[in-house]
Amino acid sequence: MNLWGEFLTIVVVHLLAVASPGPDFAMVLRQSIVAGRRPALWTSVGIGAGILIHVSYCLLGLGLIISQSIMLFNVIKLIGATYLLYIGWKSLHAQPTTPETQQTTAAPQPSDAQALRIGFLTNALNPKATLFFLALFSVVINHTTPLSIQLGYGIYMAGATALWFCGLSLVLTQNRVRNAFTRFGHWAERLMGAMLIALGLRLALASRN
């Protein structure tokens, strides 16, 4: 019964965290509007896979080292911020298309592997996710909980995260919803780019507190 109570607490805390706007949400939104349903779904799966990285180093005790090392934390933070700034900068320079160019050229679509990698890196390089999982595994999850159960918690959170963003992708890529965004064409992509740049700058300036 104690494990069930612990698991339910994890479910609630994780749901609140995954539903809050952040780099993962912004990336799925961008992929849904700019790239389409399939890349958005693979990006969502990549985000879920990124959760397993955080879970792994928390179980191995490396999360504690990261949280206590200012230099290591800053390195991870700057890498993650740079990645978001890079994606945002590319989107910010989206060019308008005309009926003539639409007939002769098509926007390059990421492959499944590329979309998966985008989602994976967006989550895995987010130091706020590092601190979230460190807090979860040190405060919510009891140290006496068997390692196999803790691993099960991590697999659940990875799967639940992927399902959440896959569902979001399905909603955002419905014709009616996507057309409302794509009607603005390059402006929609530039808006997504500005959001990612803002998140990247916020991440770069964030402290561990």
Q: What are the tens digits of pLDDT across the range 115-132?
A: 999 999 999 988 778 778
Give Cα 3 to chain centroid, integer Å. 28
Model confidence pLDDT, tens digit, residues 33-85:
888 899 999 999 999 999 999 999 888 876 666 666 677 677 766 776 777 67
Share of the chain above pLDDT 70, in %: 70
- Give the per-residue pLDDT at 84: 67
Instruction: Report the pLDDT averaged over residues 150-161.
Output: 94
Instruction: Report the pLDDT averaged over residues 126-146.
Output: 81
DSSP per residue, 137-206: IIIIS-TTS-HHHHHHHHHHHHHHHHHHHHHHHHHHTSHHHHHHHHTTTHHHHHHHHHHHHHHHHHHHH-
Q: Which of 83-87, 97-101, 149-153, 202-206 has the highest mean pLDDT?
A: 149-153
Q: Which residue has the higher pLDDT, 18 or 48?
A: 48
Q: CB-based burial of residue 188 (10 Å sphere; 0-12 exposed, 13-18 middle, 19+ buried)?
A: buried
Q: CA–CA separation, 37 vs 168, rounded Å?
A: 10
Q: Which residue has the higher pLDDT, 133 or 42?
A: 42
- Give the per-residue pLDDT at 134: 81
- Give the per-residue pLDDT at 104: 40
- Give the per-residue pLDDT at 13: 87
Give the residue from 115, 202, 94 showing the smallest Cα distance to 165: 115
- Give the per-residue pLDDT at 59: 86
